[in-house]
Copies of this chain bind each other. A is one copy, B any other.
Amino acid sequence: MASNDIFTPTETVITPEAMLEHWQGHRRLTRHVIEAFPEDKLFSYSIGGMRSFSELAMEMIGMTAPGINGIVTGQWQTTDQLEHHTGKPGPATKAALLERWDDITAEIDRLWQEIPPNRFIERDLAFGQYEGTINSLLFYFIDNEIHHRGQGYVYLRSLGIEPPAFYNRD
């Protein structure tokens, strides 16, 4: 069996190209979850004093859009500049929320191609306060989306609605 010393810094767990597809697959599933909510429940329904799924989706949007920009450019908004922290109202309809979602999907595809070589293992200070490697910040965006989307599944189930299959990334 291989020993520890086979793990050079260039050993690939996942290529940037596959990582982009992995992320966009998750984004497609989250889009299906937004679609699965009845219009009114999307903005109003919650359990245990938590946020509505539209608010959770706006957190994903508010983190991801400036996040991919920061990954590429090294320029970060501060947390109080983030869309979901400004107090400004977000999209008021499911259609408007989905349109915003789709704009960011396209922006990620576009900006991903501009990520400098070896950027993923660099350290940076995201949003003026979160220090870490770029890959750890990227995983945080994705994992936070999976986390909150899983909560949306409970909302849907408790509304008697079958959520999209977790493994479906089409």
Contact = CB atoms under 8 A, between A and B. Distances in A.
A81 interface: no
Copies of this protein chain in the complex: 2
A13 B2 contact: no
A6 B154 CA distance: 42
A118 interface: yes
A5 B137 CA distance: 24
Contacts of A114: 1-2
A120 B158 contact: no
A168 to B, nearest CB: 12
Q: Which of A10, A14, A149, A167 has the largest number of chain B CB atoms within 10 A?
A: A14
Interface in A98-134: 113-118, 120-121, 133
A112 to B, nearest CB: 10
8 contacts: A10-B12, A13-B19, A14-B14, A18-B136, A22-B139, A26-B143, A48-B159, A147-B166
